[in-house]
Chains A and B, each alone.
Chain A
């Protein structure tokens, strides 16, 4: 499992997080810690305020479509202690995914949440101005969803890579 050189172990973060806010961690691996989506803002606020973990900056916020679930991935950065923490929230509702906005903790989430809303259709409750950032209002579907190309009127692309063995579907 590749972990960047300054990335904290997810299990270590999970222990501290669970001790402070019982029941918030759903799973943790060597790389990241998964938290209850509805309480994600609580977790971020605690990580932000804690002296040892000191997640002062939201480095990167993005999402991954896993066909039946969505992962919202937060890369948090401590500037004083120079380490990185990865927090994930797994959204099980694939049709109308929603979770609280992290804007009250990190102002830097403003445009990144707009982008995720635009391209994945994940709603961030409490965001001051949630809008489609790149595409226009009324655009059909959310392009970075894996089922986007199956929507009516979309061209699904090549079924396999040209240099792959014949008949072997890549995905």
Chain B
């Protein structure tokens, strides 16, 4: 005799710790297995793209760090690169290095957050998360002493960066770089050989390289599937072409590989920051630009390798002081394109881990 079950609808979120923000999932369950999943977003929609059409190019910089609030520096950088490409503003050498240093610090902070959350989703409730946040905290302190803010940094400017770091920045960042490799070893000892962690993440949320490319996945998601694609190498911006670093790739494209790729990227970021600090020249950190910058009519699409993937800014100018159109290519949203493929057929706890390994930030999804 066979027993049949009726499918039922399960609502997850919008307020739920495993959805990492105000993100709702409507899941159709057949017993323990997921039959269908639909994501419902928009709870954090602030119509940033419309607001940006009413503000000058410089006034739009603070919007960008409020989109992805866990990677404010990377978002600032992507937007100012687009504005510079559009207007042809030159950036001093020192500012280029400072941008690299802060973008990489931001990557470490963001990866610490996302990896900690993933471990938390996998059942290691809060303890590893807290340890990873220890490093993130120190990076946020560095941001605070440089630009006064910890998350919504508003640090990059069109034509440079807002401030030169204060003298106490350099010993602090050096101490952090000394400590980080040891700390990463500590996490490895804590997690990599942990049987429960392996069982919860290996083979979960697997995506093949072909699917990842066709589904527009970028960043650690794409690299975990075995595609060595990194915009810092492919289309070097700032001074990444002078830096020496490797692109870590995974083999299976599962949650475990994404975790490991992020861990390796932290090590590579440490390498990049060391080189940038050594080579950074003295000089101006900013060029002066007009208050109401008026780029010639045209359009520009600039992108950076953010912690979550390709972070693009498509800016159109009509010759006025405000952008005619301002569009963010949000890696968090686009990495969710294959959510159904990942979740269907999986059990609910596995889907939570798979969602955690995508590393979404709802502020960026909704904008």
A residues near B, CB below 8 A?
1-2, 4-6, 31, 56-60, 62, 64-65, 73, 75, 79, 82, 84, 86, 106-112, 115, 119, 132-136, 143-144, 148, 157-158, 161, 163-164, 170-171
Contact = CB atoms under 8 A, between A and B. Distances in A.
Contact of B338 (A4, A107, A115, A158): A107
Nearest to A48: B214
Contact of B334 (A1, A112, A135, A164): A112
Given A108-B337, A135-B42, A62 B327 contact: yes
Contacts of B329: 59-60, 62, 75
Given A2-B85, A58-B216, A107-B211, A115 B301 contact: no
Contact of A64 (B213, B215, B217, B325): B325
A141 to B, nearest CB: 11
B216 A163 contact: no
A111 B327 CA distance: 15
6 contacts: A2-B86, A4-B301, A56-B213, A57-B216, A84-B301, A108-B214
Interface in B181-233: 211, 213-217, 227, 229
Contacts of B327: 60, 62
B88 interface: yes
Contacts of A143: 47, 50
A73 B314 CA distance: 10
B214 A60 contact: no
Nearest to B319: A171
Contact of A1 (B217, B292, B298, B310): B298
Contacts of B299: 2, 31
B36 to A, nearest CB: 11
A170 B321 contact: yes
A2 B329 CA distance: 19
B135 interface: no
A73 B301 CA distance: 11
Contacts of A119: 49
A31 B302 CA distance: 14
A56 B329 CA distance: 18
A148 B214 CA distance: 34
Contacts of B321: 161, 164, 170
A5 B235 contact: yes
A110 B216 CA distance: 10
A59 B329 CA distance: 8
Interface in B323-354: 324-325, 327, 329, 333-334, 336-338
Contact of B45 (A1, A107, A134, A171): A134
- Name the residue among A1, A60, A79, A82 with the largest chain B CB count within 10 angstroms: A60
B268 interface: no
Contacts of A31: 299
B301 A57 contact: no
Nearest to B227: A79
Interface string B288-310: 00011000001111110000001
Given A4-B300, A107-B211, A143-B47, A60 B312 contact: yes
A108 B298 contact: no
Contacts of A133: 41-42
A64 B235 contact: no
Contact of B337 (A64, A107, A170): A107
B31 interface: no
B301 A60 contact: yes
Given A6-B234, A111-B336, A106 B216 contact: yes
Nearest to A86: B301
Given A56-B213, A134-B366, A75 B229 contact: no
A170 B320 contact: yes
Interface string B21-33: 0000000000000
Contact of A4 (B216, B302, B322, B366): B302
B99 to A, nearest CB: 17
A108 B331 CA distance: 11
B316 A108 contact: no
Contacts of B215: 106-108
Nearest to A129: B38
A107 B214 contact: yes
Contact of B291 (A1, A111, A163): A163
A158 B45 contact: no
B54 interface: yes
Contacts of B18: none
Nearest to B38: A129
A82 B230 CA distance: 11
Given A108-B215, A111-B336, A170-B322, 6 more contacts: A2-B88, A31-B299, A109-B216, A112-B334, A161-B322, A170-B320
Nearest to B236: A5
A60 B301 CA distance: 9
A56 B56 CA distance: 35
Contacts of B336: 111
